[in-house]
A and B are shown apart, each in its own frame.
Chain A
Amino acid sequence: MTDTVLSLNNLKAGYGQTEILHDLSMHVDANEIVAIIGPNGAGKSTAMKSVLGLLNINSGSVTLNGTDITDTPAAKVVRLGISYVPQTQNVFVNLSVQENLEMGAWTRPVGIPERLAEMYELFPDLAEKRNQAAGSLSGGQRQMVAMAKALMVDAKILLLDEPTAGLSPKYRGEIFNTIQKIKSTGVPIMIVEQNAKQALGVADRGYVLVDGANRYTGTGADLIADREIARMFLGGGH
């Protein structure tokens, strides 16, 4: 049994009075990629945001390395080592690539030059664009900036909300390769994805969410192989 890094336990949560997650439980262990898939409106992104303290949690808990972080405000969650990349508006468009990365390091302002060098090694495309405004980059490159920015801290876990949404197939492949590279540096990843097949392809485990609760759980390979899941969620061939 490996160590559990992040765990959501019997979570009931939503925005204001509207409950979106009805009894959701999932966990991410050390050195694994966990994919959350499911139809639109199933609460995939909401599940992620509940970790960030961005919505009302009615019952249940969130723990990081065994410590309860339920209802902790986002700024503090980040300081605890949970790095989050939102689906949209995930870079500061008027700041240069390098400034974006520096802002990513806000909660850990030491050793920035070394960290930047590591990021430019992990994302070589960004090195030559370091002084360009992030807003001038293509969608795929922006996603790289957003991921690099999130990794500027000593992330204990990386949360990616639909990192390939709206990207061309070429960039999609590149993002999934990068995700595997990040995993190999020892950072576990929780990823919410529309491109379910590709996500399950790189994931160690997956959760299929329907109506704010987890319907199926299994290894990525098992979920892809499951005929019912394939028919319901993968058939569309995103």
Chain B
Amino acid sequence: MWDAFGFEFVNFYLIPGLVLGCIYALGAIGITLTFGILRFANFAHGELMMMGAYLTWTIMAIITAVIGITVHPLIAAIPASIVVIYLFFWTDKFFYKPFRKADTIKVVMASFGMMLILRSAVQVIWGPNQLTFVPGIAKPNAGLMSWTDDIGAILLIPNKHLLIFAGTIVFVVVLSYILNRTRIGKAMRAVSDSPDLAHVTGIDVDQVIRATWIVGGVCALAAGVFLAMDIQLLETTMGFRMLLPMFAAAILGGIGKPYGAVAGGLIIGLAEELSAYPWIGTEPLLSPGYKTGVAFAIMVVMLILRPQGLFKGRSF
């Protein structure tokens, strides 16, 4: 069964699809939480994700310059996460909070403006050109390769991808623990359920909003760093390119449903990659250039047929 077909399908389509899906999933978690709890579509989410990756790169560069060793991006991401969380707090305080009681469209537009501000800021600080995030060619994990070769189903997965898989699983498990087992997580679900009732129950909604930015921010940073690890470079448009598939993932899963966002992310990632597989004949079914179109098509079909998403989120 594991012939040339299986080898090519799994290693060159399925696994990249899952990697992309993990990145979308982490990004979509923040979007869906913001939508559920603060009730608006945050267009700046992709930009904050991108900024997190740039900050991580800078911290890596500083560590290399000061003590002469190269640290892994995931180590540098820890201090970067603090900066990203504060970025989320500040954008909320100065750009979103003033519109909290106004029509939703105003805060959506504010987030759109925020998106442009952040991207321009990155272009001013780091320049408009691509930067190398991690140099070199990522070789497949040798142990996994020889082990799977022995059982006749060879897998070529570079370490960076194994890290992205493991990292995503850890994030989803921790997220699930927070939402279901902690007081603040249950309050996040309560506010998402009914802000008015949360208010008259005496729940500290501001505290819940801060927690939402922290959880969404850390997931966004992880998504940004994972994306940079995957493509090994940084560019100022990388967040924006992720935005549409992430929204598609959030809508597919059901707005306000974090597990839905994870499932939606994986489905969109897989759909994008598998759409380029030569299902019929030897040519790709869809030219890889249309990948984003696949996410968009899924989003539109979903909005028409089942606006509440797979996990019965809020329809709008």
Contact = CB atoms under 8 A, between A and B. Distances in A.
B66 interface: no
B201 interface: yes
A93 B193 contact: yes
A89 B196 contact: yes
Contacts of A99: 186, 189-190
Interface stretch (A28-36, A101-109, A197-205, A211-219): A101-109
Contacts of A54: 200
Contacts of B192: 94
- Nearest 6 CB-CB pairings of A with B: A78-B202, A107-B202, A92-B193, A92-B190, A106-B203, A94-B193
A78 B186 contact: no
Interface residues of B, number: 18
Residue among A94, A103, A107, A149 with the highest chain B CB neighbour number at 10 A: A103
B241 interface: no
A189 interface: no
Nearest to B196: A89
Interface string A62-101: 0000000000001100110000101001111111000100
B183 interface: yes
Interface residues of A, number: 24
User: Helix, strand, loop or mixed for chain B's interface?
Assistant: helix
A109 B200 CA distance: 16
A86 B196 CA distance: 10
A116 to B, nearest CB: 14
A101 to B, nearest CB: 11
Contact of A89 (B186, B194, B202, B203): B194
Contacts of A103: 186-187, 190, 198, 201, 203
Interface of B: 183, 186-187, 189-190, 192-194, 196-205
A92 B197 CA distance: 8
A149 B189 contact: no
Contacts of B198: 92, 103
A109 B182 CA distance: 12
A84 B205 CA distance: 17
Contact of B199 (A75, A94, A109, A149): A75
Contacts of A92: 189-190, 193-194, 197-198
Nearest to B197: A89
Contact of B200 (A78, A95, A102): A78
17 contacts: A52-B200, A75-B205, A86-B196, A89-B196, A92-B190, A92-B194, A93-B194, A94-B193, A95-B189, A95-B190, A99-B189, A99-B190, A102-B186, A103-B186, A103-B201, A106-B203, A149-B201
Given A102-B186, A103-B201, 20 more contacts: A52-B200, A74-B200, A74-B202, A75-B199, A78-B201, A79-B202, A86-B196, A86-B197, A92-B193, A93-B193, A94-B189, A95-B186, A95-B190, A99-B190, A102-B183, A104-B201, A106-B183, A106-B187, A107-B202, A109-B183
A54 B199 CA distance: 10
Contacts of A149: 201
A75 B186 contact: no
A74 B186 CA distance: 20
Contacts of B197: 86, 89-92
A110 to B, nearest CB: 12
A187 B199 CA distance: 22
B90 to A, nearest CB: 24
A86 B193 CA distance: 15
Contacts of B203: 75, 103, 106
